[in-house]
Structure 1
Amino acid sequence: MRERIQQLGLLAAGAVVGVMLSLNFSAEANKTPATPLPIEELRTFTEVFGRIKSDYVENIDDKKLITEAINGMLSGLDPHSAYLDPDNFKELQAGTQGEFGGLGIEVGMEDGFVKVVSPIEDSPASRAGLKPGDLIIKLDDTPVKGMSINDAVKRMRGKPDTDITVTILRKGEPKPFPVKLTRAVIKTQSVKSKLLESGYGFVRITQFQEHTGEDLAKAIKKLYAENKGDLKGLVLDLRNDPGGLLNAAVGVSGAFLPKNALVVYTDGRTDDAKMKLFSVPE
């Protein structure tokens, strides 16, 4: 296992370069003969678009209509295909890099409100005294009720040194109270570990980020040191992990698989969609 950890560290440093699987509309696609565009169907689309513009009860922004049409087209393909506009793509990159401007709160939803699961240590939220179980019911002057968790997170994130006021509903307090927070650069920890008992370690991976492979290697080495010897067993907890970078997941696999074991392969209609990823570079 120790040898595998050393290999993992090398892999994480040299090979985990942040490859994300996505729809790739590249020049490679031009090598495949394209079928003619469905002119009649596109004509129907433009007619519906025009009718919405002229007859819908409210004025609708053109960009919103086009974006929603693209979203519908891609979401109908499979659960993993999605359209990312520049803002959403930036959010995705921030999540996989493990660093962003925000408040430093791990959150969930409860009764339609944002629930504080845990403030991140030494973050604006922890310094302001937010506690696990607190419910955020307003962000500035906007009620949270009815927002999705993604919309709420997007509002809480922002440029460092900008302010936001969150209204907190706390058990035991007679009424909600406001807390003014100043956003800061938040570095998320995707790997958490502890020694359960002598000989048995526990590692939790919350998301596959850019440095997850390196962080896993450090965490397991730390467990060896705390145990003062080899481990008999290791629990790897991936519950509720939303995914992340493919090569980070391959790097993690490298700690537990034989050398040069095939971890995953991808296939597609274009050459750049065909890959084989191994536990360590061949």
Structure 2
Amino acid sequence: MRLIRNPVLAATTALIIGIAVGLTTGAQANSETRLPIDEVRLMSQVLERIKQSYVEEVTDEELIEAAIEGMLRGLDPHSDYLTPDDFADLRESTSGEFGGLGIEITLDETGFVRVVSPIDDTPAYKAGMQSGDLITQIDDTPVKGMTINDAVNLMRGEPGTDIELTVLREGESGPLTVEITRDIIKITSIRHRMLEPDFGYIRISAFQERTGNDFEDAIKALNDETENGLKGLVLDLRNNPGGVLQASVAVVDALIDEGLIVYTEGRISNSDSRFVAHSDDPSNGVNLVVLINGGSASASEIVAGAIQDHKRGLILGTRSFGKGSVQTILPLSQDHALKLTTARYFTPSGRSIQAQGIEPDIIIRQGSLTQNQNDPFYKEADLAGALDNPNGDADSDSKATAESTQKAEAELAEDDYQLYQALTVLKGISILNASR
């Protein structure tokens, strides 16, 4: 069983690369690389006292691993110590198939586990887990004080077995109990469909290795469904916890034909990088609206930030999660590694979204709109003796198409108000551009 972990163990913007770590000795040593002898001696004394006096016998290995985990946990929520199983889980999460519940989690400052977002069509999503949920108990075990690893290990289990999560949710008067059946998670990162004639929709649920290629294929497929190409595209990144950095770069690259996409800065040379768009534009400059919300994190924010800075489209929804750091895998041996925060990423204009997120151009909160189906007004055509239109009546096909479109819009307004508003804005942009 594999539960997506904090916003990088699910590969949110992780630079999965190996960096050789060398030790500087002799004359090359400086104040940054020289071991702090007094502090190391103090740690050794603490280690010895625990081994001698702790109420139960503790092995050296257990103490050393706990010390390493404590060091990393004290840095930030995303740095971690990777055991062989953890490293294998990380590779699985980027390939698109793994076992678990299908939720992206992080450790909250209160000591509880917070849900960044549930992933589309997974057990957690179907059970009703929501972005922002605070998990306080896993089955009968309180979460307070656990590490992410502890929580993940408790949530692991065989596919088909049940787990019960106790959840605090904003707007609810008391704790909720959510029962989820574990399953093998297969993520389809790209989904696409036509919202209306000439207006397409692409949903990216996570950024995986093939997401960039699949995104271009989706644009082509949508264009093939139209006579003269798309008039507008909605790119839905809501509740997308992120993924492979290069995949998010590839998506932006398919939407712009020049300029900086994202850059990273850190203290080591390997952490400084710049990603620039190629000259081609598979999207053909289609009118674009990007949907984000509080569950849009990391790689999703790279895409939204680049689109916003290049004024390539409008960002609509609510403020994103705000994860602007990059994690690098640093091997310690063949079996162990560190996942360490080594850089911050910046949007093309130099913005860091760390702990702030992307502010949408148009703030639209999710809701439900029930449209009035009764038209209270009489029309000229309803009046007795009204003159006929010299151009004749609209043909029945046009009337049927208009009625079908109105019905679809009404259903969309009820089912997904943010998407309905995105489509409305997109149609307005299309009309304005066509009139110029």
TM-score, normalised relative to structure 2:
0.43
Q: Distance in 1 between matches of 2:70 and 2:40?
A: 15
- The answer for the alignment partner of 1:26 in structure 2 is 20
Residue identity matched to 1:250: V
Contact in 1 for aligned 2:119/2:240 (Cα 8 Å): no
- The answer for the alignment partner of 2:88 in structure 1 is 90
Helix, strand or coil at the partner of 1:57? coil
Classify 1:29/1:158 alpha carbon distance in 2 versus 1 (closer, same or farther; 3 Å): farther
Contact in 1 for aligned 2:192/2:200 (Cα 8 Å): yes
Instruction: List gaps (5 residues or longer) in structure 2.
Output: 1-12, 106-111, 130-136, 166-178, 281-436
- The answer for the alignment partner of 1:41 in structure 2 is 39
Classify 1:200/1:163 alpha carbon distance in 2 versus 1 (closer, same or farther; 3 Å): closer
The more displaced of 149-158 and 212-221 is: 149-158
Which structure ranks higher in relative contact order (CA pairs < 8 Å, sequence separation ≥ 6)? Answer: 1
- The answer for the alignment partner of 2:222 in structure 1 is 223
For each residue in 1:186-232, what CA deviation from the matched residue of structure 2 results, as whole angstroms up to 9, or x when unmatched?
Answer: 43112223333333323222221111112212222232234444223
Contact in 1 for aligned 2:198/2:232 (Cα 8 Å): yes
Contact in 2 for aligned 1:202/1:235 (Cα 8 Å): yes
For each residue in 1:57-86, what CA deviation from the matched residue of structure 2 results, as whole angstroms up to 9, or x when unmatched?
Answer: 334443343223222323333444332222
Classify 1:197/1:54 alpha carbon distance in 2 versus 1 (closer, same or farther; 3 Å): farther
Classify 1:132/1:227 alpha carbon distance in 2 versus 1 (closer, same or farther; 3 Å): farther
Contact in 1 for aligned 2:163/2:182 (Cα 8 Å): no
For each residue in 1:137-171, what CA deviation from the matched residue of structure 2 results, as whole angstroms up to 9, or x when unmatched?
Answer: x99xx757649897676566678xx7746689xxx
After TM superposition, give the deviation of residue 95 of structure 1 in Å: 0.8
- The answer for the alignment partner of 2:274 in structure 1 is 276
Query: After the TM superposition, which residues 65-76 of structure 1 pair with which residues of structure 2 at under 5 Å, given as runs?
Result: 65-76=63-74
> Rg larger in 1 or in 2?
2
- The answer for the alignment partner of 1:242 in structure 2 is 241
Q: Distance in 2 between matches of 1:237 and 1:68?
A: 41
Helix, strand or coil at the partner of 2:230? coil
Residue identity matched to 1:218: D
Q: Distance in 2 between matches of 1:241 and 1:83?
A: 25
Helix, strand or coil at the partner of 2:82? coil
Q: Distance in 1 between matches of 2:262 and 2:70?
A: 29
Alpha-carbon RMSD across the aligned residues, in angstroms, is 4.7
Query: After the TM superposition, which residues 29-178 of structure 1 pair with which residues of structure 2 at under 5 Å, given as runs?
Result: 33-35=28-30, 36-101=34-99, 120=121, 143=140, 146=143, 164=161
After TM superposition, give the deviation of residue 94 of structure 1 in Å: 0.8
Q: Distance in 2 between matches of 1:27 and 1:281?
A: 37
Query: After the TM superposition, which residues 176-187 of structure 1 pair with which residues of structure 2 at under 5 Å, given as runs?
Result: 186-187=185-186
Q: Distance in 1 between matches of 2:92 and 2:140?
A: 25
TM-score, normalised relative to structure 1:
0.62
Contact in 1 for aligned 2:119/2:205 (Cα 8 Å): no
After TM superposition, give the deviation of residue 274 of structure 1 in Å: 3.2
After TM superposition, give the deviation of residue 278 of structure 1 in Å: 2.2
Residue identity matched to 1:87: D
Q: Does 1:213 align with 2:212?
A: yes
Contact in 1 for aligned 2:15/2:245 (Cα 8 Å): yes
Q: Distance in 2 between matches of 1:274 and 1:28?
A: 19
Helix, strand or coil at the partner of 1:208? coil
- The answer for the alignment partner of 1:194 in structure 2 is 193
Classify 1:145/1:193 alpha carbon distance in 2 versus 1 (closer, same or farther; 3 Å): farther
Residue identity matched to 1:241: N
Contact in 2 for aligned 1:106/1:119 (Cα 8 Å): no
- The answer for the alignment partner of 1:3 in structure 2 is none
Contact in 2 for aligned 1:206/1:241 (Cα 8 Å): yes
For each residue in 1:214-256, what CA deviation from the matched residue of structure 2 results, as whole angstroms up to 9, or x when unmatched?
Answer: 2212222232234444223222222332222111111111111
Helix, strand or coil at the partner of 2:278? coil
Classify 1:228/1:163 alpha carbon distance in 2 versus 1 (closer, same or farther; 3 Å): same
Residue identity matched to 2:44: T
Residue identity matched to 2:236: D
Residue identity matched to 1:187: K
Classify 1:249/1:63 alpha carbon distance in 2 versus 1 (closer, same or farther; 3 Å): farther
Classify 1:280/1:84 alpha carbon distance in 2 versus 1 (closer, same or farther; 3 Å): farther
Report the structure, 1 or 2, having the larger helix content.
1
